[in-house]
Amino acid sequence: MNAWLATEAMQSQKKRLSKTEVLLAPDGRIAGFYSIAMGQIDFSELPSELVKKLPKRAVPVAVLAWLGVDKNFKGQSLGRNLLAQALAECHEAGRTFPFVALILDCIDEDAKRFYQRWDFREMPGCPMKLYLSAQSLDAMMTA
């Protein structure tokens, strides 16, 4: 993650491929960050309950491409706060650019458990790829 943040994040943002937000510590160090993007996924990759009334083609999704917290700042709820902000941004963006789900790839089982606490669910046949339906995101943001 550090290498991507240092070398690719700004290039990706300049190319309008993703948007990266960083959280700075009082001393100016990067405490954490997240990157979000828009994408498409074939309807057949999503769970049937999510796509039963969708056209049989690629459908729009939001992507949480990266989320990380510097090891020196672990245990301070920064990951939770960064995810909450990313979800809020995706929800707001969804008012203009609709999508059917927010998807992400987990780097390990700990990350998977973290996201599942936020109601993310496994994609069919891909246990480390998770989704949060747009309806669930809407309900979360209006609760």
Q: Say how many domains are in the chain.
A: 1
Which residue ranges in the chain fall short of pLDDT 70? 1-2
* Six token digits for residue 138: 């809407």
Euclidean distance between CA atoms 134 and 143, whole angstroms = 14
What's the pLDDT tens digit per position in 88-111?
999 999 999 999 999 999 999 999
pLDDT at 1: 58
pTM for the full predicted model = 0.89
Nearest one of 81, 130, 65, 139 to 101, comparing CA atoms = 130
Residue 52 pLDDT: 87
pLDDT for 2? 66
What's 66's domain CATH number?
Answer: 3.40.630.30
Q: How far apart are CA 79 and CA 106, in angstroms?
A: 14
Q: How far apart are CA 109 and CA 71, in angstroms?
A: 17
First and final C-alpha spacing in the chain: 32
- Residue 24: domain span: 2-142
